Amino acid sequence: MADLTRKYDVLVVGGGNAALCAAISARRAGASVLVLEAATKFYRGGNTRHTRNMRCAHDAATKELTGPYTEEEFFDDLLRVTGGNTDEPLARHMIHESKAMLGWIAEQGVRFQPSLGGTLSLGRTNSFFLGGGRAMLNALYRTAEALGVAVEYEAEVVELDIADGMFLSATAQRANGERATVRAGALVAACGGFEANIEWMKQYWGAPADNFLIRGTPHNRGTVLKLLLDKGVGEIGDPTQCHAVAIDARAPKYDGGIITRLDCVVFGIVVNKHAQRFYDEGEDVWPKRYAIWGRLVAGQPDQIAYIIFDASSLTMFMPSLFPPIEAQSIGELAGKFSLDPATLEKTVAEFNAAVRPGTFDHTILDDCRTEGITPPKTHWARRIEKPPFYAYPVRPGITFTYLGTRVNKEARMLMKDGRPSANMFAAGEIMAGNVLGRGYAAGIGMTIGSVFGRIAGREAAGNARN
């Protein structure tokens, strides 16, 4: 149990990658540090638990990375995925700092491995944590605690005392029902977005948000984000936007993580509850197609859709948690989801009739396409004709939100009038929107967390001592 009655130099709110990097870096800079984590010890670390790699620039191949990844190439990738929706000086600063990050993270006890099964396309750009995100977190916690960082679990910050952009104290709701008010010289907010706050999501999405599944922690309710924005901190990122992918509809409401993802859209067709197709399943290659289908399904009635494919594709993609539903005929398959059998048979028949001959290759934009139907399937179109037939039900799976607090290169929060805060810093998902205004590139969330976490901790420690 941490001592919550004394005053700390730095208070870190949150318990994931960004929070722990901030805590370690502040402690190494000589500050006394308290971490308040809302979750229990097992669930500590928010969405970091579900990550597996980070994207850092590097000039040469390493033991784990197959080749160089320059700052320029990293920035080009960022421009591409965000469509230019990024703060260029801040992004370039982060990318430059990411170079030193691989070494720094390893010094904190985190171990890397070469990319192996299913992720070979990232082997040059992304560094994979040995054992995944929870292994990374465990190492950071061990290091932080060995350094003397105080950590309190099941302590959700529900109130902030801020006067004119200056943090004074935070009030935490604890497991025993009591509240504790903690004073500190500086604040680092590293406690994620608000995707797990369905009521908040409904402000933008309406009733359909009730059918969203949250892929990560149920603790990202945005409580601290809202408090900060209400108390004058500048806002960044489109509040209505979130990163959504199509995941298995049978996944739990929260915390299903990576294993409920489905990347088999290209191998079949996708229909809605009326057994109608609604989008070109062959539009683009991974990862772009991966990131659009959550939004597409969110736009369909009851936010449900079905990926339909046949026996010829069954083993062509990564297995996932739930087996596909199987049937000997399309009509029988429809019956298993209360889709109208006649309509689904008609949809499949029309699709099959429209498929033109081609050479199938799911690793490139191949020449297998349809002709004469709307929407078309522009690549990887093959007839669905070989029983047994299969289907996965899918729903939108929300990964993170883009709304955040504005920061500068010191990870210092900027108030609505543009003035820097006296002693408040932010790192990780809560400020990711500064760099990642939309879209996503694998591992970039962890880069934002580590780089700005390390900066925030260092700056907060310097701030608190002055």
Partner 1 sequence: MHGTKILAEADRLMVVCNSCRYCEGLCAVFPAMEMRRVFPDGDLNYLANLCHGCGACYDDCQFSPPHEFDVDVPRVFAQVRGDSYRAYAWPAALSGLFARNGLAVAIIVALCVAAFVIGFVAFNDPAAVFARGGGPGSFYALMPHNAMVLIFGAAFIYAIVALVLSARNFWRDIGDPTAKGPYPWLKAMHDAFTLHYLDGGGEGCMNDEESRADHRRLYHHFTFYGFLLCFAATCVATLDHYLLAREAPYAWYNLPVILGTLGGIGLVIGPAGLLVEKFRRDPALTDEARLGMDTAFIAMLLLSGLTGLALLVLRDTAAMGMLLAVHLGVVFALFLTLPYGKFVHGLYRFLALVRYAAERRAMAGGHSE
Residue ranges binding partner 1 (CB under 8 A): 42, 49-50, 52, 111, 113-114, 116-118, 128-135, 138, 142, 252, 255, 257-260, 315, 318-321, 323
In this structure, are strands 389-401 and 213-214 parallel, antiparallel, or unpaired?
parallel
The DSSP secondary-structure symbol of 407 reads B
Q: How far is the CB of 188 from partner 1 (least distance, A)?
A: 24
Rounded to whole angstroms, the maximal C-alpha distance in the chain is 74
Give how far the C-alpha of residue 65 lies from the chain's centroid of Cα atoms, to the nearest Å. Answer: 22
When the beta carbons of 129 and 440 are compared against partner 1, the nearer one is 129
Both structure tokens of 328: 């000997």
Both structure tokens of 104: 């720094």
Q: How far is the CB of 219 from partner 1 (least distance, A)?
A: 14
When the beta carbons of 86 and 115 are compared against partner 1, the nearer one is 115
When the beta carbons of 113 and 312 are compared against partner 1, the nearer one is 113
Would you say 395 and 297 are in contact if contact means Cβ atoms under 8 Å apart?
yes
Q: How far is the CB of 136 from partner 1 (least distance, A)?
A: 9
Would you say 447 and 54 are in contact if contact means Cβ atoms under 8 Å apart?
yes
When the beta carbons of 111 and 438 are compared against partner 1, the nearer one is 111
When the beta carbons of 135 and 147 are compared against partner 1, the nearer one is 135
When the beta carbons of 124 and 183 are compared against partner 1, the nearer one is 124
When the beta carbons of 52 and 458 are compared against partner 1, the nearer one is 52
Q: How far is the CB of 131 from partner 1 (least distance, A)?
A: 3
CA distances from 382 to 307, 311, 368 (A): 14, 12, 7
CB atoms within 10 A of CB 171: 15
Q: How far is the CB of 333 from partner 1 (least distance, A)?
A: 21
Which residue in this structure is represented by tokens 């299969």? 390
Q: How far is the CB of 186 from partner 1 (least distance, A)?
A: 29
The string of DSSP letters for 294-336 reads HHHHHTSGGG-EEEEEEGGGTTSS---SSPPEEESSHHHHHHT
The DSSP secondary-structure symbol of 279 reads S
Nearest residue to 53 via CA among 98, 99, 115? 115
Q: How far is the CB of 183 from partner 1 (least distance, A)?
A: 29
